[in-house]
């Protein structure tokens, strides 16, 4: 039975228009009004979902037709529709940017797009921009728009008067400190690093309410979708997962899958703990080890525990920040060098520019693990990769290193895209990697 639910894709003509904070503030506004709000994020992103979870009080999952698969996109939204009074999806980049784009996802789900446009320094051109976004793709529904960072009420009126026929202004948001969240080189600060985030989200919600954004979007009809039930390939396997301010880039769907496959998950902090949980496998996810180099280097007991785990030959997955921590040394943004775990010979170094970004996949005989890369550090090591990821664009991507039970790469995997591969990795089973048509064993 189909379910009607108010739903909208919050997007923009480009990055930097303020859509992340608008999405969070809208979620908090409707949550404070007593509605159950479910929020999703289009594409690979760890930091925005953290804030969106705080704003909505509900779990946030990624949706991306290539990375997560079209079926999973439909299923997650259908599951949310069964309980939610509002569904918000935060887009990525500009509305038509990327492959698949936010527009592609909106069309797949049958959900209209709601552009957020930074109107600073703009008057009648605002209407022309809206005209282009609304009519560039006739299959995409756009019936409302949000003006952000207006200079005055009169400015907002001018923008409203200049809109093309059939498009209304949901609201015009004034400049406000409540609408600003500080960021760093990989995105927003993590909620645990921000004081009074709840109070700021409430203040941002009040700004939106005063700007007329309390109106619910139109209801759309969501059809039920059958879930894919994974096999219990990790039954009884104990996995220790690093999770703290240095290691926090973890897709909720990844841990959900591990649990659904029967794994027992135990979390620990490489920053604060002195020993590992009793475990059969170890996962060092991405994050910000470069911001905590001194603390990690000085936690000798944890360093020794992880080295001992590595020497035992048990499986270890190290992704991006986890890879950096596995090197002998880490050179941070200031050029200060910190001693790391020493599992991989060489040094990771923070660079001034991005070193890797975009969608990639790693393929083995057990399947194709899809995901992405996004990092500003480089790794100088004598180790030779056993394989490389493959970029969605069709060229060679990130190196994959394997030694004993360690699998390490700058690549971040989306586990539900290849459950059998993930299960084999955490069970320590040999993997045959493919780079395009080549095969390598590890």
Q: Are 95 and 102 in contact (CB under 8 A)?
A: yes
Nearest CA to 253 among 415, 53, 421? 415
> Inter-axis angle of helices 70-81 and 102-109, to 10 degrees?
60
Q: Are 35 and 208 in contact (CB under 8 A)?
A: no
Q: H/E element holding 54? A: helix 47-56
Which of the 8 DSSP states describes residue 290?
Answer: G
Q: Are 13 and 93 in contact (CB under 8 A)?
A: no
Determine the Cα–Cα distance for residues 319 and 181; give it in Å rounded to an integer.
Answer: 26
Q: Which residues, at least 6 apart from 210, have a Cβ–Cβ distance to it below 8 Å?
A: none
Nearest CA to 43 among 20, 65, 11, 12? 65
Q: Residue by residue, what is the 3-state secondary structure of 117-177?
A: EECCCCCCHHHHHHHHHHHCCCCCCCCEEEEEEECCHHHHHHHHHCCCCCCEEEEEEECCH
Chain centre to alpha carbon of residue 72: 16
Q: Are 389 and 373 in contact (CB under 8 A)?
A: yes
Gyration radius from the chain CA atoms: 23
Tell me which residues are annotated as active site.
320
């Amino acid at each position: 039975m189909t379910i009607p639910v108010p739903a909208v894709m919050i997007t923009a003509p480009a990055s930097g228009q303020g859509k992340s904070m608008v999405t969070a503030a809208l979620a908090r506004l409707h949550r404070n009004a007593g509605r159950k709000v479910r929020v999703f994020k289009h594409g690979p992103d760890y930091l925005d979902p953290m804030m969106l979870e705080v704003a909505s009080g509900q779990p946030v999952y990624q949706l991306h037709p290539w990375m997560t698969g079209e079926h999973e996109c439909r299923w997650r939204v259908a599951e949310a529709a069964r309980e939610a009074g509002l569904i918000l999806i935060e887009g990525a980049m500009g509305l038509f940017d990327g492959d698949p784009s936010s527009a592609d996802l909106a069309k797949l789900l049958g959900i209209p797009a709601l552009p957020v446009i930074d109107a600073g320094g703009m008057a009648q051109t605002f209407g022309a921009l809206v005209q282009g976004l609304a009519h560039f793709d006739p299959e995409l529904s756009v019936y409302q728009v949000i003006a952000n960072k207006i200079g005055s009420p009169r400015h907002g009126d001018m923008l409203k008067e200049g809109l093309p026929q059939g498009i209304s202004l949901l609201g015009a948001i004034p400049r406000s400190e409540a609408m600003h969240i500080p960021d760093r080189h990989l995105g927003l600060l993590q909620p645990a690093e921000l004081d009074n985030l709840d109070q700021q989200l409430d203040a941002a919600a009040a700004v939106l309410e005063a700007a007329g954004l309390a109106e619910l979007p139109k209801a759309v009809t969501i059809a039920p979708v059958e879930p894919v039930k994974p096999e219990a390939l990790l039954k009884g396997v104990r996995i220790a997962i690093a999770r703290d301010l240095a290691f926090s880039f973890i897709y909720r769907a990844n841990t959900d899958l591990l649990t659904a496959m029967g794994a027992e998950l135990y979390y620990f902090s490489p920053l604060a703990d002195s020993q590992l949980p009793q475990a059969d496998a170890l996962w060092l996810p991405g994050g910000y080890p470069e911001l905590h180099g001194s603390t990690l280097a000085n936690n000798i007991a944890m360093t020794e525990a992880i080295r001992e785990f590595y020497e035992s030959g048990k499986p270890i997955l190290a992704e991006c920040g986890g890879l950096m921590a596995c090197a002998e040394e880490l050179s941070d943004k200031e050029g200060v060098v910190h001693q790391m775990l020493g599992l991989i010979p060489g040094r990771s170094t923070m660079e001034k520019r991005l070193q890797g970004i975009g969608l990639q996949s790693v393929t083995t005989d057990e399947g194709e693990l899809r995901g992405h890369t996004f990092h500003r550090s480089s790794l100088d090591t004598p180790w030779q990769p056993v394989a490389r990821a493959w970029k969605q664009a069709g060229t060679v991507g990130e190196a994959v290193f394997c030694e004993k039970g360690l699998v390490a790469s700058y690549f971040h995997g989306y586990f539900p895209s290849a459950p059998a591969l993930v299960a084999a990795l955490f069970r320590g089973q040999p993997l045959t990697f493919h780079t395009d048509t080549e095969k390598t064993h590890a």
